Structure 1
Amino acid sequence: MSNTIFITGASSGLGKATAKLFQQKGWRVIATMRHPEKETELNQLDNITLLQLDVTDIPNVKATVAKALSTGHIDVVFNNAGYGLSGPLESTSAEQILRQINTNLLGTIWVTQAFIPYFRERRKGLFITTTSVGGLVAFPFSSLYHATKWGLEGWSEGLYYELKSIGVGIKTVAPGGIQTDFLSRSFDTSSHPAYDELFSRFFSNADGALFSTAAQIAEVVYEAATDGKEQLRYIAGEDAKGIMAQREQLGNEGFRQFMETAFLKKNS
C-alpha cells in the first residue's frame, strides 16, 4: 500500500513541485488549492487527486479534510499554503494584516487541528509545515510576514510535545529564497512615501543568485517525510544555511547590525 500526502497550496511553486516529486516516488497525493478548476498540470498525473481548499475558511477546511480522509489513509500533511507581504507597517491596511495572519498562521493551525483526531486514533502521522528562514531571522519591511513565520516556528515547537505523546510527529522546512513566481503570484505590498527610498534600497540590495529551485526544496520536504528522524527543523537552501551560519557566528545583535548594513546601505 502506497503512502499518501495531503498538500495545501499546491497550485504553484513549492506545493506543486512537492506534489510532482511525491507522485514520482510512488506516493498517492492529495493536492489542494483554492481553484482546482484552473489546474492544468497536476490533474494529468496518475495518483494525484485535486481538492478545493481555502485554508482561511474553517467550514471549508473541515469539509475538505473529511473528503480527503474518505478517499483512504493519509500519512503526511504538508502545510504549505501561504504568501508574502512586504512594506511599511504604517501603510499596511487592516485587510492586508488579517489576510496575512489568517492565511499563513491560522490557516495552518485550522488544517492541523482538523487532522489531529485522525492521526491520534491511528497513533501515527506527520505534519510538515513550510516556514521560512524568515521564521528564524528578520529582514527589513517584512514584519507581518515574519510575525506569521516566527509564529509557525514557535507553534510547531510547542505542539511537538503534545503530538509526540499520541505518536504523531511535526516538522518544519525553512527555505530561503525560491526561484518561483512567488513575487508575482503570492506577494502583496504596501507603500508610504516616508519609506519609499529605504524600501527601494532594500529591494535593490537583495540578491537572488543563491535562491534554490522549488524542486530542490521539495527534496528537503521528501527527506523530512521519509528519514524517520526525530528532527524538528530542516533549513533548506544554501542561502538559508548561510544566513543561519552568520547569525550563529555574529550573535543576535551583531547579526541585526549586519542585516541593516547589507540591505539598507546606500549603493555607491
Structure 2
Amino acid sequence: MKKTILITGASSGIGKASVKLFASRGWNVVATMRNPDREKELNGLDDVLVSRLDVQDRQSIAEAIEAGIDRFGRIDALVNNAGYGQNGIFEAVPREKVIEQFDVNVFGVMDVTRAILPHFRKNKTGMIINVSSGAGLFTLPMISLYCASKFALEGFTEALSYELLALNIGVKLVIPHGGVSETTFVERATQGGTDNVTPPDYHAFLQSSQQAFARMAAARTMNSADVAAIVHEATTDGTDRLRYLVGDDARGFIKARREMTDQGYIDFMRAHFATAN
C-alpha cells in the first residue's frame, strides 16, 4: 500500500521540490498551498492532490487533511515547510509584522501538527518533519524575528519529540543552512527591510550588514532539490534521529556555535557584522 505525505508551502522552493521527489519515489502526496488555483505544474503529476491550506486559517488546515484522507485513505507523514523570513532592523518592524512572523512560522506549524495528531494516534504511527533553518541554531542581524521564530520551532520540535516517541510518532527537524539558491530569502535580508522606516542611527550598521549578506548570497551552494532529498531521507530512514543539517558551513557559524565558548562564539559572529571605525 502506497504511503501518503502532506506537505505545506508546496507552491515553490523546498516544498515544491519535495512534492516532486516524493511523487517520483512512489508516494501519494497532498501538496498544499495558499493559492492552489495558481498551480499549473503539480496538478499534472500522478497521485498528487493539490489542496488549499493556509497555516493562518485553521479551517483550511482541517479541510486539507480531510481531503487528503478522503482521496488516499490515510496520511502517513507531514512536512511542515510553509514559512517566510521577516527582515529589517527590529526597532523598525511594526508590531503586527512581528505577530505575523510567529503566526506563520510557529503557531501555523503547531496548528497543522495539532490537527493531524488524532489521525496519527488512530493509526498508531506517523512522521512529522519540521523544516527549520540554520537561523534556529545561530542568529544574524536584520532577521532577529525570523531567528526568534526558528529558535522557537527548534525548541517546540525537540520537546514534542519526547512526548510522541512512546506513541510511535516520529518528530524530526531538517535544517538548511548556508542559503538555498532558488529562494529569495538572502536577497530580502540584503535589502535591509527597505519597506520599514529605519532610524538614521542604524545606517552605518545597516550598510555593513548588507555587505555581509551579499557575501553570503554569493557563497550559496545548494538548491531546493538538495533539501528535498534530506526531507525524504529523514522521513524514510527508520531512525529516531532528531536533526538533519543540510548545507555548507563554510562561514563556520555552526562549528563556532558548537565548539567555541559562549563568548568566543559571540565575538566570532559580531566580527562578521562590525562597522568600520
Report TM bin, short chain: over 0.9
Could you list the structure 1 runs, at least 4 aligned residues long, displaced by more than 6 angstroms after superposition. 184-188
Q: Which residue of 1 aligns with 2:67?
A: 67
Structure 2 portions without partners, runs of 5+: none
What do the CA deviations read for 1:153-209 (whole angstroms, capped 9, x no partner)?
000111111111211110001111111133399879334033233123212112231
Residues in 1 aligned to 2:94 and 2:86: alpha-carbon distance in whole angstroms: 11
Structure 1 residue 241, shift from structure 2 partner: 9.3
What do the CA deviations read for 1:38-73 (whole angstroms, capped 9, x no partner)?
111111211211000110112221222222222221
Moved more, 220-229 or 248-257: 248-257
SS in 1 for 2:9: coil
Question: Could you tell me the TM-score, scaled by structure 2's length?
Answer: 0.90
Residues 1-268 of structure 1 aligned to structure 2 (within 5 Å):
1-71=1-71, 72-176=73-177, 177-183=179-185, 189=193, 190-192=196-198, 193-206=200-213, 207-208=216-217, 209-239=219-249, 242-266=252-276
The answer as to whether partners of 1:87 and 1:191 remain within 8 angstroms in 2 is: no
Aligned length: 267
Residues in 2 aligned to 1:266 and 1:241: alpha-carbon distance in whole angstroms: 20
% identity of equivalent residues: 39
SS in 1 for 2:141: coil
SS in 2 for 1:6: strand
Tell me the C-alpha RMSD between the 2 structures.
2.0
The answer as to whether partners of 1:88 and 1:191 remain within 8 angstroms in 2 is: no
The answer as to whether partners of 1:205 and 1:264 remain within 8 angstroms in 2 is: no
Moved more, 128-137 or 190-199: 190-199
What do the CA deviations read for 1:97-140 (whole angstroms, capped 9, x no partner)?
11111000000000000000010111100000001011111111
User: Relative to 1, partners in 2 of residues 1:186 and 1:130: Cα closer, same or farther, differing over 3 Å?
Assistant: farther
The answer as to whether partners of 1:87 and 1:199 remain within 8 angstroms in 2 is: no
Structure 1 portions without partners, runs of 5+: none
